[in-house]
Structure 1
Amino acid sequence: MPLSPMTYPDGHVGWRAHDHAAVRAVLADRRFSIRPDLMHNPFGPGSPGDAPPAPPGAFTDMDAPDHTRYRSRLTGQFTVRRMRLLAERLEEITAAQLDELEAAGSPADLVQHFASPVPALMICELLGVPYERRADFHQDAMTMVSASGLAEEAEAMYAAFGRLQVFMLEMVAAKRAEPTDDLLSDLVNVDSDLTDDELATMGMALLGGGLDTTTNMLSLGTLELLREPARVEAMLANPDAAVEELLRYISLTPATARTALEDVEVEGVLVHKGDTVLIELGSANRDPARYADPDVLDLAKGASGHVAFGHGIHQCIGQHLARIELKIAFPGLFSRFPKLRLAVPEDELPHRPSLVIRGLERMPVAWD
């Protein structure tokens, strides 16, 4: 059955979509809403109306036409020219962070010295964060996305979020006064109908979407590569295919959700208006009807059509940049450290306590 009934934490009887065809069908159908304020929360307590409506600029939590209004401004910013320039800069950043990892000495934490700073510095390049502010920006960004459910960590997260909001507003004002060659400057000076608050919120959305995900993909991807030497060889031989297969296999964001705005039939199943559907991206990426031997990681074959970046109008807008980061960072890491290995038993690696995005808090590695 492509959709299965599911009882949510608030008692709502909704659905879960788990095969590849059903997942893509729901994600592509605009009769399903992404708005949190309309949703029964599949990950914890929360009924429609408990979450506030998305603030202006928070396009990732909006349906069309509001979503379209904001996202269309960003689509044109991820140009071939900008991606090429960012790729050149990424090679420099990767080399510098590998120098830092080596200088830290074996063993060292791969997350601290490589997996976290590489995407953070790339977000700084994309948004045009001044060099003198990047250390504080990185620290607050990692605090914002890495906090667990502990009260003291939640307090630190909200404080970091507040500082980043203020900083982003300062950045918008600075780019309006003196534009530079970056995405935020283009948004500020080309789209004059957007308010400073809207622009700052869009910047925050790009930060949240591009930092934590790539950090965790680098650490979890490295973990998978370290399990078999042949996997490293496959990555170095064909990074394009290897990265796509890692994205499919790991499925960093295992699930998302949508709510039906009207009665909708999906793969022969009737979903009633107001029903929430848990969309299991990880299950879709291991659907045997779509992928042969789906539980086997075969880096040489690649993986077309996976939904690791979602599907439909909300498909990750920064997916091309994420791919560039992974295709440069993984080969760079293993070319520099061909004898890289875990410095602790795998079962001692601290995993993040999150149902939304998988990741590692630390990853001690060693080399000869």
Structure 2
Amino acid sequence: MAHDFPVQRSCPFAPPAEYEKLRDEAPVVRGKLPGGEVWLVTRWAEARQVLSDATISTAPSTPGNALVAMSAEPPPPEVLEAQAEQGRGFFIDMDPPEHSVYRKLLIPEFSYRRIKELRPGIQATVDRLIDDMLAQGTEADLVEAFGLPMPSLVICQLLGVPYSEREFFQSRTRRMLTDEDEAGRTAAVGELRGFLSGLVAEAEKAPGDDLLGRLVTARAVPHEDMVGMMFLLLVAGHETTANMIPLSVLSLLRHPDQLRQAIDDPSLWPGAVEELLRFHSIVDWVAFDRATTQEIEIGGRKIGAGEGVLVLGASANRDERVFPDPDRLDIRREARPHVAFGYGVHQCLGQNLARAELEIALRTLFERVPGLRVDTPDEELSFKYTAPIFGMNALPVSW
């Protein structure tokens, strides 16, 4: 029997309720999407197998790609043509060896050593935003005042994007992720790429001392491919962390015993971040769409070539076989094996940056605003239950 998919979350602290039933049923089950059926991977071991298998493709153009089945009707030719052009340099949708070319260019910029060098700048950004928030009074929307601008500032500084343009790229990113109309999403992508194309052109004339300037100076890839790389880094570099910050704050406030442990022992913050990443798994199946290129066995099932596969990251990260009592938030848990950043050659390039941002943001916020609280009941808070990347629309806080 095929299960209807996708399914929505209904609780801010848990994946869709159906996921536990799917895990109990089998590590791989059939999912019925608007445009056809695909395989859904529900458990941790099989998720890592799929995400690291070189015979399973992430390219949308590969026959059977699972994401294609998300739409009841295939996109019109003009949309497909636009998407193909906009896909240049978007290396998350490429398989090796093409994917490897782009990733190798960027690994030094996101290495543990490089992010360690950036930590003082991240700390200064966090402190400045908290200063501004405190200066406004005794209450704020944590999403607008802190969660959204913090990673936006950091990624803009890192890439060399003027922060004055943040409202433009944030609005286009939201349209791209939430617009129900395929043409609307494609248009938002085109507008954002056009904006970035101008920035790349300026850097080609006068490269600065930033990631874009260094890449342009190296002349490693053509102009349009550079635009695609910047597009991916800009969107991925702020949208996910911006959603994780307010969710993490709410979760810790709703688990005061866990929060008190981290405040009393700051060495627990790195582990707390890993547990929060596992606990929320805000990306879930987004970017985990795959297609088989040959017959393969997953979880005891024979799956033929040209079939769609979706890894349910939020289900894998609640797999009882790996994470005992998985629905409990436990910042002392060894959560690092989670797949919130993916696994294999496509594992998130910016994971070191995301970890540093979350650790510094959460630790500093609770240290500097010890009376931080959320008085609004959870059922009255606004969550992004229908968005592909889970998060909060707003988080009213006071102190």
Normalised by the size of structure 2, how large is the TM-score? 0.84
Mapped to 1, the partners of 2:28 and 2:329 lie a distance apart of 26
**Structure 1 segments (4+ residues) deviating >6 Å:** 47-50
Report the counterpart of residue 251 of structure 1 in structure 2.
281
Report the counterpart of residue 30 of structure 1 in structure 2.
54
- Which of the numbers 350, 359, 377 marks the counterpart of 1:318? 350
Structure 2 gaps, min length 5: 1-25
Mapped to 2, the partners of 1:81 and 1:248 lie a distance apart of 24
Moved more, 141-150 or 338-347: 141-150
> How many angstroms does 1:78 deviate by?
1.8
Mapped to 2, the partners of 1:287 and 1:48 lie a distance apart of 34
Structure 1 gaps, min length 5: none
The answer to whether residue 258 in structure 2 is matched with residue 231 in structure 1 is yes
CA displacement 1:60-91 (0-9 Å, x = unmatched): 11111221121111112224453123211000
Report the counterpart of residue 134 of structure 1 in structure 2.
163
Cα pair 2:88 2:225 within 8 Å, conserved: yes
Moved more, 164-173 or 20-29: 164-173
Mapped to 2, the partners of 1:20 and 1:312 lie a distance apart of 13
CA displacement 1:156-213 (0-9 Å, x = unmatched): x7676445323322322332333332111111111x2411111111001001111110
Report the counterpart of residue 279 of structure 1 in structure 2.
311
Cα pair 1:42 1:278 within 8 Å, conserved: no
SS of the equivalent of 1:333 reads helix
Which residues in structure 2 correspond to 1:156-171 (within 5 Å)? Answer: 161-171=189-199
- Which of the numbers 222, 239, 246 marks the counterpart of 2:249? 222
Mapped to 2, the partners of 1:17 and 1:68 lie a distance apart of 25
Mapped to 1, the partners of 2:163 and 2:69 lie a distance apart of 33
Same amino acid, percent of matched pairs: 36
Report the counterpart of residue 235 of structure 2 in structure 1.
208
Mapped to 2, the partners of 1:320 and 1:121 lie a distance apart of 17
Cα pair 1:128 1:180 within 8 Å, conserved: yes
Mapped to 2, the partners of 1:36 and 1:47 lie a distance apart of 16
Size of the aligned set, in residue pairs, is: 359
SS of the equivalent of 2:39 reads strand
Instruction: Rate the CA distance shift 1:224–1:43 in 2: closer, same or farther, 3 A.
Output: farther
- Which of the numbers 123, 126, 136 marks the counterpart of 1:104? 136
Mapped to 1, the partners of 2:50 and 2:153 lie a distance apart of 35
CA displacement 1:313-362 (0-9 Å, x = unmatched): 11100000000001100011111111111142221111124352101111
Mapped to 1, the partners of 2:192 and 2:237 lie a distance apart of 15
Q: Which amino acid aligns with 2:167?
A: Q
CA displacement 1:68-127 (0-9 Å, x = unmatched): 121111112224453123211000000011012112323210000100000000101110
CA displacement 1:272-305 (0-9 Å, x = unmatched): 1111112111111111111111111001224121
Cα pair 1:34 1:63 within 8 Å, conserved: yes
The answer to whether residue 29 in structure 2 is matched with residue 4 in structure 1 is yes
Cα pair 1:248 1:307 within 8 Å, conserved: yes
SS of the equivalent of 2:66 reads coil
Taking only aligned residues, the RMSD between alpha carbons, in angstroms, comes to: 2.3
The answer to whether residue 225 in structure 2 is matched with residue 198 in structure 1 is yes
Moved more, 285-294 or 77-86: 77-86
Report the counterpart of residue 240 of structure 1 in structure 2.
270
SS of the equivalent of 1:4 reads strand
- Which of the numbers 70, 73, 89 marks the counterpart of 1:44? 70
Cα pair 2:35 2:69 within 8 Å, conserved: no
The answer to whether residue 43 in structure 2 is matched with residue 19 in structure 1 is yes
Moved more, 3-12 or 65-74: 3-12
Q: Which amino acid aligns with 1:144?
A: R
SS of the equivalent of 2:271 reads helix
Instruction: Rate the CA distance shift 1:138–1:2 in 2: closer, same or farther, 3 A.
Output: same
Report the counterpart of residue 116 of structure 1 in structure 2.
148
Which residues in structure 2 correspond to 1:43-82 (within 5 Å)? Answer: 44-45=70-71, 52-53=83-84, 55-82=87-114
